[in-house]
Amino acid sequence: MAILRTSAQTGIGMTSQRTRDRMLVRLREQGIKDEVVLSAISAIPRHIFVDEALSIRAYEDVSLPIGFGQTISQPYIVGRMSEILRNNNPLNKVLEIGTGCGYQTAVLSKLAKEVYSVERIRPLVMKARGHLRELKCVNVKLGHADGNMGLKDLAPFDGIIVTAAASHIPQDLLDQLTIGGRLVIPVGTDEQILYLVERVSELEYRQTKLEAVKFVPLLGGLL
């Protein structure tokens, strides 16, 4: 059966599949090797997640404003964090802290059986919900919540990804990892480092510093 795609999803010119393919070439050159992640990124039209005036820049390797002082992450960091989280293994239940416009969420929907995502800014939740509905991401559940506390009632998760920079690694998130689970999180204020934390046992975690990154800060409270 043929899959019908709207013009908004397929894009034209600078938002076309050809432009997306060039982005994938660049991601491979930047070191993203997981073909499952690359396929997921290829399947998601990034331009629908930004304002129409910015859609011409949607496939550049840059973060772009989405309102409320937030940004959509650059394609490289989406690919990098997704690749680290997946670790060449299928993902079952994943938690995302910081839905934003829903782009990283949509990529995760192609990589995991279940995706739970929380966002503290209600208008962004509503906007992301519309994008994900348009793309028929039926395995995603969004919530308007303070991400610092995770989603204890739905834990444990085999992957947690945080898309804003925390001042420290929240213990609540560590507690919500399954044994063998992975947390990918940027930490720091002026200088931010991407960390991987793996839960080795009930009480033991292995922490790895990965690379310098730049994210908006992880804040508490609801808007």
What does DSSP assign to residue 204? -
The C-alpha atoms of residue 150 and residue 171 are separated, in whole angstroms, by 10
> Is 73 one of the catalytic residues?
yes
The C-alpha atoms of residue 128 and residue 181 are separated, in whole angstroms, by 26
- Whether omega before 123 lies within 30 degrees of 0, making that bond cis, reads no
Helix ranges, 135-187 (H): 171-175
Task: Give the type of residue at 57.
Answer: R
The C-alpha atoms of residue 135 and residue 101 are separated, in whole angstroms, by 13
The C-alpha atoms of residue 101 and residue 50 are separated, in whole angstroms, by 8
Given 16, 42, 73, 117, the catalytic residue: 73
The C-alpha atoms of residue 24 and residue 32 are separated, in whole angstroms, by 9
Active site residues: 73
